[in-house]
Chains A and B, each alone.
Chain A
Amino acid sequence: MKKRLLKRNAAALLTLMLCLFLAGCVGNQETVLTIGVYSGSYWNTPNGNSYQILDDVITLFEQSHPGVKVEYVSGIPAGDYSEWLAEQIMKGTEPDLYFVLPEDFDLLVSSGALAELDERIAGDPEVDTAVYYEPCLRSGQFQGRQYALPHESVPTIMFVNKTLLETNGIDIPGNDWTWEDFYNICAQITHVDLRQYGVYGYSWLDAMYSNGAALFSEDGRSCYLAEENVQQAIQFTKRLGELNGGYSVSVRDFDLGRVAFRPLLYSEYRAYQPYPWRVKKYSAFQWDCVTMPAGPSGSNASELRTMMLGISSRTRHEDLAWELCKLLSIDENVQRELYTHSHGISPLPAVAEDPELLLQIHHDIPEGSGFSPEMIHRIMSSAVVVPKFDAYDQAMIMVESAIQEAAGNQLGQSGMLIAQSEINIFLNKS
């Protein structure tokens, strides 16, 4: 009698548990899509409400996709984002969709963490890659395949100390100036005894990008160190350095208004040019920005850095992740909001070159901005995307030491050729 009672109780309990389990399954049908995002700005600029745009996009997305909930982990500083993402990948808990920092793109693609998007792009009638600036789109490509879509780009531009130039009676250079113009102005400005200098932080790489040169091939198998246009860039920066008579210009000199030029990220221009931030930095002098000076065999091009969006290769919600990715990357309304609140340039020409929007963005800049729609178009379409590959950092160290060595001895071209073949051997081994 007791046994039977026990049996019946056990059966009832089991049924109850099964019902609960089924109810749990049915109740939990809400799909959770995760997105990996960093807080603050990646571009070295203050950004008060970094999640505002994302939250708006998520609300929009959840409204158009009932039953889907988008979640993200907040409070990961941009500087820790790479490590955080790597940890998530190690633990197998990486988000379905995540922001890809320019320096992580190569690692994420070559380790297979990012899903290839070519088929999706080809199969989606809403996506036309022609709506992007070509260099922005190219940032998300690896060996000819698309792995990420651009979200926001930042080119390098040249900061000009207007006050210094005016006091020396020099006109502010136009956006189509050349190395020679640049050198001449620097030569005029530089008075070592007056502690007045031409340029701070202009590297031979900056010169190289504006001289139509590339240091490495796209696949990272060959180095072009000894090429004519690379050598021109190295020689040019050397000449510029010689103007200072051996003095190494510091950031303090620049902040005190004693330096005429300094390469700057476009985002910093956006952040510090309008009120109230302009009070915070470089308040002692008037300043503006122009394009980088063009080399003899190049244009006014500069390096472009692009924040991208990639889909995890292991996601179980690839379709949803793709929808959200599209919304963040290609949706004009979202990009407009981003353009207004963040400090980069939209990868969509239709947004980036919208005169009304530009007016709104630049309205705080006294005397207006030199960045007209045509200017932005020129900068963005000619921008240089630096190919990154596994051995990039190591190869860069080898290039730098080769240049230093060449400066020490007088081997010149032949020394560079030897260094180039050594680096080529290293690149093909790794």
Chain B
Amino acid sequence: MKTERNLTNLAVAMFVLNLSILSFYSLICVTTTFRICDSLSAHDFLTSVRQIPRYPWQMPVQSLGLYAVLCGVSFFKLFRPIEHFPLRVFVCAAEIALCAGIIVSLNFYYSGVALLVLADLVHYMRSNRMRLCFIVILSLMFAFGRYEIVEQFTNSIAFDAYLGYYNPMIQSCFTGLESLMVCLNIILFVLYMILLFTGQKEENARIRKLNEQLNQANDQLRDYAVNMERMTQMRERNRLAREIHDTLGHTLTGIIMGADAGLALMDVAPEESRKRIQIVAQSARDGLTDVRRSIKALRPDALEHSSLAEALEGMIENFRLTTSAQIAYDQEAGTLNLDSDEEDALYRAVQEGLTNAVRHGRADRISVRVTRTGDLVTVSIRDNGIGCAKLEEGFGLRHMRERLNMLGGTLSYGNLDSGSQNGYTGFFITVGLPIRNKKGE
């Protein structure tokens, strides 16, 4: 920030100095012209230079006018940042053109304006290629925009011819002042460049440091996520253990004690023994109810209140609404009378498939088909997404496979070829599940 302020101060100093130099040349040329006329030596002057001078007003008006526009453009782009790249290049080209105009309107007496513009543009454009371009153009203008070089091609009068009017003492004063200002301009330019490039080096170092900090934070976040998952598993395990301990442990203990008592009383008091066994049976039944309740606590809510077909339809509708994907759902399996664990497995498979299609495949058209051949229910999910470049079983698919394997089912998935049916070219998941209860046929 401090560097930036210093740069601005230097730039302002350069602008002021160049204004003085421009005024210096204009003033000398104009006043000398009129002094020559007043002292009746116009004819001698013309004879010595053999060249008609430009209109006296031309140099001050043109050079200072163009300079004012140049300052305007330079400060405008400082306070109103331009985002559009071609427009930025255009502004730079305009500044270069103005610079050339100023040098020409000053009869090539002074080309230091090129340094001012160079400093300004190098600060403004950060692209190295553009910078190189500016450096080449403006350096050439600085080096070749000298009267001594273009003398043969221009028909303007040498500055020395004007100075020649004065006596040697005043002449040396003027030349001294001229070279002093020209040198000062070069010094300011060099200072500006040094400050600009050291400032940029510091900024680069700062960015590198910030990047490292960001990477560290990312690593920490990843560790945290892994820990979190582990803790969730632990909590679930504890809950299951507690549930098993509270329900099954309690019931089984009661059943064992009741059964033992029943065995012991069998011969002595058969009536009492029967009573006990009845209690055991009741206790076992209560236990089963408890177990069922525990498992139900882990089931999807939708399946709790409706059938699989309805639950799937509801989920798909919900999915359509939330993701705006087109989902074709064909239920061709008739009425399914499945056990809750089988319903769970199918429900979770469809849920996972849809989620993957949208999240990883970025699909907007998905087809879900449920068919039944004999006691095998097949669910196939296809999408038109980008598929998966590297087939790797993630957490969701592994979980699905485990769940299905427990029920004797199969899982297959992969990318679809472009020539496959229905115009789907993304990803497919096919789930096969043999059903235990054949009532629903």
Question: Which residues of A does B touch, CB under 8 Å?
Answer: 82-83, 85-87, 89-92, 107, 110-113, 313-314, 390
Contacts and interface: CB of A to CB of B under 8 A. Distances in A.
B45 interface: yes
Contacts of A314: 52
Nearest to A312: B52
A334 to B, nearest CB: 29
B37 interface: yes
Contacts of B218: none
B270 interface: no
A322 B271 CA distance: 151
Given A112-B155, A390-B50, A92 B56 contact: yes
B54 interface: yes
A83 to B, nearest CB: 5
Given A111-B52, A313-B52, A86 B46 contact: yes
Interface string B52-85: 1111111000000000000000000000000000
A112 B52 contact: yes
B173 interface: no
Interface string B39-52: 01011011101111
Contacts of B37: 87, 90-91
Contacts of B46: 86, 89-90, 107, 111
Nearest to B34: A91
A92 B155 contact: no
A197 B36 CA distance: 48
17 contacts: A86-B42, A86-B43, A86-B46, A89-B52, A90-B36, A90-B45, A91-B56, A92-B53, A92-B55, A92-B56, A107-B43, A110-B50, A111-B51, A112-B52, A112-B155, A113-B52, A314-B52
Query: Which bracket fits the contact residues of B?
Result: 20 to 34
B42 A107 contact: no
Q: Which among B36, B42, B54 has the highest number of chain A CB atoms within 10 Å?
A: B42
Counting from the closest, the 10 A-B pairs by CB-CB distance are: A92-B55, A86-B42, A86-B43, A87-B42, A87-B37, A113-B52, A83-B43, A86-B46, A90-B42, A111-B52
A111 B50 contact: yes
Interface of B: 33-34, 36-37, 40, 42-43, 45-47, 49-58, 155
A87 B38 CA distance: 9
A315 to B, nearest CB: 12
Contacts of A113: 52
B54 A92 contact: yes
Given A83-B43, A91-B33, A107 B50 contact: yes
Contacts of A82: 43
Contacts of A390: 50
Q: Which among A85, A87, A89, A92 has the highest number of chain B CB atoms within 10 Å?
A: A87
Nearest to B57: A92
B33 to A, nearest CB: 5
A86 B56 contact: no
A429 to B, nearest CB: 15
Contacts of B56: 90-92
A83 B51 contact: no
A86 B48 CA distance: 12
B60 to A, nearest CB: 13
A110 B47 CA distance: 10
Given A107-B47, A112-B155, A89 B54 contact: no
Given A107-B50, A111-B46, A111-B49, A90 B40 contact: no
B33 A90 contact: yes
A103 to B, nearest CB: 10
Nearest to A94: B52
A390 B51 CA distance: 12
B23 to A, nearest CB: 20
A112 B45 contact: no
Contacts of A110: 50
B261 to A, nearest CB: 107
Q: Which among B34, B42, B45, B46 has the highest number of chain A CB atoms within 10 Å?
A: B46
Nearest to B49: A111
Nearest to B36: A90
Given A90-B37, A107-B43, A112-B51, 20 more contacts: A85-B43, A86-B42, A87-B40, A89-B42, A89-B52, A89-B53, A90-B36, A90-B42, A90-B45, A91-B34, A91-B56, A92-B53, A92-B57, A107-B46, A107-B47, A107-B50, A111-B49, A111-B51, A113-B52, A314-B52
A372 to B, nearest CB: 41
Nearest to A112: B52
A85 B43 CA distance: 8
A388 to B, nearest CB: 12
Nearest to B33: A90
Given A110-B50, A113-B52, A83 B40 contact: yes
A110 B57 CA distance: 23
B30 to A, nearest CB: 10
